[in-house]
Amino acid sequence: MKRLLDSYIEQYLLNEISKEELYNQCVKLLHKILNGSLMDLKNLVLWGILVELMEIEDLDGESCKELLNRLSAILKGNMCGSFMFVMRIPEKFIENNLQSLECSITKYLNGERLMNSEIMSLHDIYDKKMETPQTINNILEREILELVKLGYEFDEEYFKFDIKHKLFVNTMLWTEKDFLNKICTLIECYNGKREFFVQVIFDKGDGTVSVSV
């Protein structure tokens, strides 16, 4: 889809299609993403560019050409670029791989004692192999699990809060409750209950996706 989008931009810059035709093709690509695999990173990386292209109808010829030259250079890898947008995972795309983790954290925050089986379930996070993310869901899940690994040490019958890797952090101002609330916020994003920020950084034509709350 990236090559297709770049080809449409190139056609306009070569006066092979009109601004209206370019706009219509971009609308079709947006609909294709929305009606297809919206969560797939290979599609999501183009969202920021497509949204900018939706503005070309309101631009004069020179401004439009300037925008399209910049976007084309980013897609071709001749220029770095950064795009940010806010999103929430639609209900039909929600995954439920973290229910046990969510229940354990909620129980722990409420002052309840976790059973050994629940602690072992948390311990299993350390053995979980994380594949290369293919969807925005995968990125959120990885962020959550990596935070658990960062903040806790587990044994068969106990666990303790201990942030292992720190840099210029005042531990007196960074409490376990703050840490768990951060994880809970990400879980809410993962469950489609909260919006989050998505940033796409293009370097050498490839887009890398990261999330923040």
Quick one: average pLDDT of 170-180?
Answer: 79
Quick one: average pLDDT of 198-212?
Answer: 96
Q: What is the pLDDT of residue 173?
A: 62
Residue 205 covered by a domain = no
pLDDT of residue 9 exceeding 70: yes
Q: Looking at the structure, tell me whether residues 106 and 185 fall in a common domain.
A: yes
What does pLDDT average to over the chain? 90
pLDDT of residue 194 exceeding 90: yes
pLDDT of residue 8 exceeding 90: yes
Q: Looking at the structure, tell me whether residues 63 and 156 fall in a common domain.
A: no
Residue 146 covered by a domain = yes
Cα–Cα distance for residue pair 128/138, rounded to 1 Å: 13
Q: Looking at the structure, tell me whether residues 125 and 186 fall in a common domain.
A: yes
Q: Looking at the structure, tell me whether residues 127 and 49 fall in a common domain.
A: no
pLDDT of residue 198 exceeding 90: yes
Spatial CA neighbour of 136 closest among 211, 33, 27, 59: 211
Residue 211 covered by a domain = no
Number of domains in the chain: 2
- Out of 17, 46, 80, a domain closes at 80
Spatial CA neighbour of 187 closest among 148, 129, 135, 131: 148
Q: Looking at the structure, tell me whether residues 46 and 127 fall in a common domain.
A: no
* pTM for the model: 0.89
Q: Looking at the structure, tell me whether residues 116 and 67 fall in a common domain.
A: no
Q: Looking at the structure, tell me whether residues 55 and 144 fall in a common domain.
A: no
Cα–Cα distance for residue pair 19/27, rounded to 1 Å: 12
Q: Looking at the structure, tell me whether residues 98 and 138 fall in a common domain.
A: yes
- Out of 59, 80, 101, a domain closes at 80
At a CB cut-off of 8 Å and minimum separation 6, what does 160 contact? Answer: 152, 153
Q: Are 91 and 38 in contact (CB under 8 A)?
A: no
Q: What is the pLDDT of residue 152?
A: 85
Q: Per residue in 63-106, pLDDT tens?
A: 999 999 999 999 999 999 999 999 999 998 999 888 889 999 99
Least confident of 52-56, 148-152, 198-202: 148-152
- The parent domain of residue 170 ranges over 92-194
Whole-number percent of the chain with pLDDT over 90: 59
Q: Looking at the structure, tell me whether residues 97 and 189 fall in a common domain.
A: yes
Residue 58 covered by a domain = yes
Phi and psi torsions of 45, nearest 5°: -65, -20
Q: Looking at the structure, tell me whether residues 68 and 123 fall in a common domain.
A: no
| Position with higher pLDDT, 159 vs 22 | 22
Q: Looking at the structure, tell me whether residues 105 and 76 fall in a common domain.
A: no
Quick one: average pLDDT of 204-211?
Answer: 95
> 3-class secondary structure for the chain?
CHHHHHHHHHHHHCCCCCHHHHHHHHHHHHHHHHHCCCCEHHHHCCHHHHHHHCCHHHCCHHHHHHHHHHHHHHHHCCCCEEEEEEECCCHHHCCCCCHHHHHHHHHHHCCCCCCHHHHHHHHHHHHCCCCCCCEHHHHHHHHHHHHHHHHEEECCCCEEECCCCCCCCCCCCCCHHHHHHHHHHHHHHHCCCCCEEEEEEEECCEEEEEEEC
Residue 175 covered by a domain = yes
Q: Looking at the structure, tell me whether residues 124 and 183 fall in a common domain.
A: yes
Residue 57 covered by a domain = yes
Q: What is the pLDDT of residue 33?
A: 86
- Taken as a whole, the chain contains a residue count of 213
Residue 16: pLDDT band (50, 70, 90) is: very high
Least confident of 7-11, 12-16, 154-158, 187-191: 154-158
